[in-house]
Structure 1
Amino acid sequence: MSDLTVEMVQRGRGPSTEEAARRLGVARDIRSAREKLTSRSGLERAFEQELLRHYAQYRSGSGIALSLFAMALAVAATYWAPLVVTAAWALCVLLMITLNSVIGRRFLAAAPERIDLARWRRRFVAGEVLQSLSWSAMIALGDTGGWTFALFGLVIAAAVTTMLAATVPAAAVAALLPLSIATVSLTVFSSSMDSLMLVAMAGGTQIFFLGLSRRLYASTVGALHSRAEKDAVFGELEQAKANSDEARRRAEEANLAKSRFLATMSHELRTPLNAILGFSEVMKNEVFGQHNCPSYREYSTDIHDSGMHLLNLINEILDLSRIEAGRYELNEEPVLLANIVEECRHMMALRAKAKGQIVHDMVDTTLPRLWADERALRQIVLNLLSNAVKFTPPGGEIWLRVGWTTRGGQYLSVRDSGPGIPEDELGTVMSSFGRGALAIKTAEQGSGLGLPIVKGLVELHGGQFQLASRPREGTEVIVTLPATRVMDTLLPETFDDPAPQPAAKAARQVSRAA
């Protein structure tokens, strides 16, 4: 069977965050390309509909302004043409403006999912052509002397039309074509060089307006792209938030199930362990008489030691679970850190002596008391000393320091002359059940929970945990407790006798005289 690789493990856990984001982006690009293939304009359906909606809003909202402009031109045109003719022209223009406004409002009122974009686009193009034809009727003023007025009227109409129809390029071109033809046809009424130059300038102006409408169309499409990307990002964030909330809910449920499981298993395991430890201790100590076979005593000792190891492992798992769940309650009281360290050093002295290790203690015995949990501090010191003794080779040295910090707190430092921990394994040894390569190679007994428990207990006290280690230079662990937990020693109060009052002093003097 082939070895299990990191890639196989990662595939089993599911795609990473980067992979999920990449897949989401690819799916979005494929969907966008599919919509573009089914579109005549090369844009997504949502963009096409939004552009038509902009056009409809512009047309329906500009009806009043265009009507006033048409009536103003009609009034001015009465200077060259009869009132009946200008009124008929103005009525025709007003009808076309109203028609386009009605078409735009109907488009805005239609349900988005039922809109046939191609058909509505054809309606808008037809409406623009009809309206431009009505504006182009101003060329009749050229025969009555209003040639220049008609030319500039056509230029203004072309500017307004191309700007309003910019979001639908086909409509802008269809609207500009009749106006351009009408502008060129004005040369029939005047063939002078000045007239030709004015017509050429007007034609160039209309072409410029067409180019400007294309720029407006491109900027509108760019704005739609930006808004679509922003909406996509917001959608992804909302989806990620929903996934995060769901994952947190599942994690909370799993944590609750884990707590219930540990509580149940601790009770179920401790009940038989009490019998195992009790009876094995009786058998080990040969309370009811010596064993016929000496091996039975060794077996009893092994059973008792294994049971104690299992009990300690259960206690460590429960302690770590309570710390991670924030349910570890500190039983705080005034304690002396120096005394706790001395007691723990005395407990570990036999193990250190058995391996020929030298423990150097530099403890400041004048330190004041700490407001802390004595059991937690004892567990911290024992775990650190136990690790130092365990991983320091025979004949090595261990340095134990306790003193003041620069900020008024107290610290505990445990340093050994062991082989040290590689930098890439520091995160492993600080994780739950994590064991370094040295512990695995030497088959040192342990659960890998010592340092995580120490770090959790230190943080519960508001302190800091530091681990520094380099290969072949040893390991040092520094635990710092804040100054807020140091109990200052109170000075004894002195009660001075009050000064004698003048009346009492006079009474004593009278008494002496008597």
Structure 2
Amino acid sequence: MSTGVSTSADKNIVDKSRSHRNKPVSKAVRLTRERLQSSHAASGAFDRDVLVMYINAVLQGASIVPLFVIIIAALGVYFTENTQIFLWALLTLTAHAANVFLARRARGQEINATTARKWRRVLLLGQFMVGCCWAVFALQDCTACEPSSFLLYKGATLLIALSVTAMSNFMLTPSVLITFAPVVLGLVAKAGLSREILEISLTAIFTTTVILFNYISDRLFQSNLKILAYQAEKDDLIAELEVAKSMSDEARRRAEEANLAKSRFLASMSHELRTPLNAILGFSEVMSAEVMGPLNNPTYKEYTNDIHRSGEHLLNLINEILDLSRIEAGKYELSEDAISLLNISEDCIGMVQLRARGKNITISQQFEAELPAVWADEKALRQVILNLLSNAVKFTPQAGEIHVKVGWTAGGGQYISIKDNGPGIPEEEIPVVLSAFGQGSIAIKSAEQGTGLGLPIVQAILAKHDGQFILKSKLREGTEVIAILPAKRVLQTVPAVEDTPVVSRKRRSFA
């Protein structure tokens, strides 16, 4: 009953991570990628942003034009002594005030892609009104003034007005042309009627300058448009990164839930599997030993031996899977004590000696004498050495050799090296062999296939000891595995320090 409840709970955990929960995230990713793939520099892509930038520029520089117009009017009255220029100044200030009013109205309203085009036309009309005022100024005459001086005053004023307009209104294209088209037409008409060289020169210079400033304004507009496009692309990339992060968080959560389900499953099934396996091993051993009486059929006795060997193999497989699961879950705790690497190695060699003799394999030893104890988990290190020795015996051919070395490392640690003259491992298969459930082509063809968990467990146990695992292998030459414990786990005996009493030192110094 308890098993059924646990399995149901695990199923509920896995069901929470169905793919339908990722539909909004997947949709957001798709929309973001479509925005990234689209051209941001399209003509109408940033109408609203461009219009907002223009409106802010107009409102921030609203006081510049009135000040400029007042200065020009005052200078005009001073040079020409004609007070009618104040009427032009009043008309120009009125047109400018209307422009500012329109900008304030536009900022106070919600601007979208549709209303942006309407407001753009309205604001261009306001600029045209200001241009008409400058056309009135361009048509002014002064009979009492020297023609060259007055044309210089008028030309300088128009050029300054053109530069101020171009720099402040370049976000509203083509405001430069619309604003000063009436001025150019007025100058052309006046130069055509008067046919004076000064008027023609002023018209030519101003027209050329208008074309040049229009080109500069357009380049500035395109540059700002690219900046807006890059800004939008950056925002889209940030959005996609956030979406990708949310997806990775979701994937991590699902992996944690799956890992939790796996841990619960293994925890519940370990007892359920081991209990019948122990019964199978016990009864098969009793039958094989013929405790309850002889088995008349020799085939049955062979079958009982097969059952016992298969049960032991299955039990070892379950133990290895549980060990790896505890290591991956971070629940593999070390029970550390002062142990001798030499003694453990000798014991493990004795355990595999019978199997080695069955294949006529010679195991040679090369141990350094008087190695100090190390601070480690005896059971874990015994498992490491047994795994490595079992692999060596398994893959070493008949009448082969295995060399076992135990000694010091160059850094002051201790190591055990196990080298065989088996078939070896191809270089490209070494990462596969070191991975969980990974097996090389030699192991797959072998009659003694394993689980592929031995070496990953060895690596994990050595990592828990802050140690290192090295595998060297050459095809048709053999394999060498080295398990290394760091120097900080070696327990050195420290000689006692002689404690000289302080009083005796004082006496000797007085003497």
TM-score calculated relative to the size of structure 2: 0.86
The 3-state SS of whatever aligns with 2:417 is strand
Equivalent in the alignment of 1:308: 312
Which string of whole-angstrom CA distances, capped at 9 and with x for unpartnered residues, describes residues 295-346 of structure 1? 2222221111111111111111111011111111000000111111111111
**Distance change (3 Å), C-alpha of 1:303 and 1:386:** same
Equivalent in the alignment of 1:170: 174
**Distance change (3 Å), C-alpha of 1:95 and 1:387:** same
Does residue 345 in structure 1 map to residue 346 in structure 2?
no
Does residue 28 in structure 1 map to residue 17 in structure 2?
no
Equivalent in the alignment of 2:16: none
Task: Give the distance between the partners of 1:467 and 1:96, measured in 2 at CA.
Answer: 86
Give the residue type in structure 2 aligned to 1:104: A
Are the counterparts in 1 of residues 70 and 89 from structure 2 also a CA contact under 8 Å?
A: yes
Task: Give the distance between the partners of 1:107 and 1:159, measured in 2 at CA.
Answer: 25
Equivalent in the alignment of 1:512: none
Unaligned runs of 5+ residues in structure 2 are: 1-26
**Distance change (3 Å), C-alpha of 1:66 and 1:381:** same
Does residue 127 in structure 1 map to residue 126 in structure 2?
yes
Task: Give the distance between the partners of 1:80 and 1:140, measured in 2 at CA.
Answer: 16
Question: Which protein has greater RCO, CA pairs closer than 8 Å, 6+ apart?
Answer: 2
Are the counterparts in 2 of residues 142 and 150 from structure 1 also a CA contact under 8 Å?
A: no
Equivalent in the alignment of 1:117: 116
Aligned residues with identical type, % of pairs: 46
After superposition, residues 189-268 of structure 1 pair within 5 angstroms as: 191-268=195-272
Residue 84 of structure 1 deviates from its aligned partner by 4.8
Task: Give the distance between the partners of 2:289 and 2:345, measured in 1 at CA.
Answer: 31
Residue 64 of structure 1 deviates from its aligned partner by 0.9
Residue 186 of structure 1 deviates from its aligned partner by 5.1
Give the residue type in structure 2 aligned to 1:28: R
Are the counterparts in 1 of residues 468 and 483 from structure 2 also a CA contact under 8 Å?
A: yes
Task: Give the distance between the partners of 1:87 and 1:194, measured in 2 at CA.
Answer: 25
After superposition, residues 52-131 of structure 1 pair within 5 angstroms as: 52-80=51-79, 84-113=83-112, 115-131=114-130
Which string of whole-angstrom CA distances, capped at 9 and with x for unpartnered residues, describes residues 102-159 of structure 1? 2223333322447522212211211111111112221243344433222221111111
Answer with 340-349 or 296-305: which moved more. 296-305
Equivalent in the alignment of 1:7: none
**Distance change (3 Å), C-alpha of 1:385 and 1:112:** farther
Are the counterparts in 2 of residues 364 and 403 from structure 1 also a CA contact under 8 Å?
A: yes
Residue 269 of structure 1 deviates from its aligned partner by 0.5
RMSD: 2.8
Are the counterparts in 2 of residues 161 and 176 from structure 1 also a CA contact under 8 Å?
A: no
Are the counterparts in 2 of residues 60 and 102 from structure 1 also a CA contact under 8 Å?
A: no
TM-score calculated relative to the size of structure 1: 0.86
Which string of whole-angstrom CA distances, capped at 9 and with x for unpartnered residues, describes residues 195-216 of structure 1? 5334322322222211110110
Residue 194 of structure 1 deviates from its aligned partner by 4.6
Give the residue type in structure 2 aligned to 1:445: Q
**Distance change (3 Å), C-alpha of 1:419 and 1:252:** same
Residue 494 of structure 1 deviates from its aligned partner by 6.5
Equivalent in the alignment of 1:43: 43
Residue 69 of structure 1 deviates from its aligned partner by 0.9
Answer with 136-145 or 278-287: which moved more. 136-145
Residue 492 of structure 1 deviates from its aligned partner by 5.1
Are the counterparts in 1 of residues 32 and 239 from structure 2 also a CA contact under 8 Å?
A: no
The 3-state SS of whatever aligns with 2:84 is helix
Equivalent in the alignment of 1:336: 340
Which string of whole-angstrom CA distances, capped at 9 and with x for unpartnered residues, describes residues 259-291 of structure 1? 100000101111111211111111111112211
The 3-state SS of whatever aligns with 2:338 is strand
Give the residue type in structure 2 aligned to 1:50: D
Task: Give the distance between the partners of 1:500 and 1:60, measured in 2 at CA.
Answer: 93
Equivalent in the alignment of 1:17: none
Equivalent in the alignment of 1:508: none
Unaligned runs of 5+ residues in structure 1 are: 1-19, 37-41, 504-514
Are the counterparts in 1 of residues 375 and 490 from structure 2 also a CA contact under 8 Å?
A: yes
Are the counterparts in 1 of residues 159 and 206 from structure 2 also a CA contact under 8 Å?
A: yes
Are the counterparts in 1 of residues 28 and 243 from structure 2 also a CA contact under 8 Å?
A: no
Answer with 387-396 or 196-205: which moved more. 196-205
Pick from 415, 422, 434 the counterpart of residue 419 of structure 2.
Answer: 415
Equivalent in the alignment of 2:9: none
Give the residue type in structure 1 aligned to 2:257: E
**Distance change (3 Å), C-alpha of 1:497 and 1:242:** closer
**Distance change (3 Å), C-alpha of 1:205 and 1:298:** same
Residue 48 of structure 1 deviates from its aligned partner by 1.9
After superposition, residues 438-453 of structure 1 pair within 5 angstroms as: 438-453=442-457
**Distance change (3 Å), C-alpha of 1:386 and 1:183:** farther
Does residue 478 in structure 1 map to residue 482 in structure 2?
yes
Which string of whole-angstrom CA distances, capped at 9 and with x for unpartnered residues, describes residues 456-503 of structure 1? 1111111112222221222221222111111111325668999999x9
Task: Give the distance between the partners of 1:347 and 1:212, measured in 2 at CA.
Answer: 89
Pick from 299, 303, 308 the counterpart of residue 299 of structure 1.
Answer: 303
Task: Give the distance between the partners of 1:338 and 1:186, measured in 2 at CA.
Answer: 113
Does residue 289 in structure 1 map to residue 293 in structure 2?
yes
Task: Give the distance between the partners of 2:401 and 2:31, measured in 1 at CA.
Answer: 57
Equivalent in the alignment of 1:395: 399
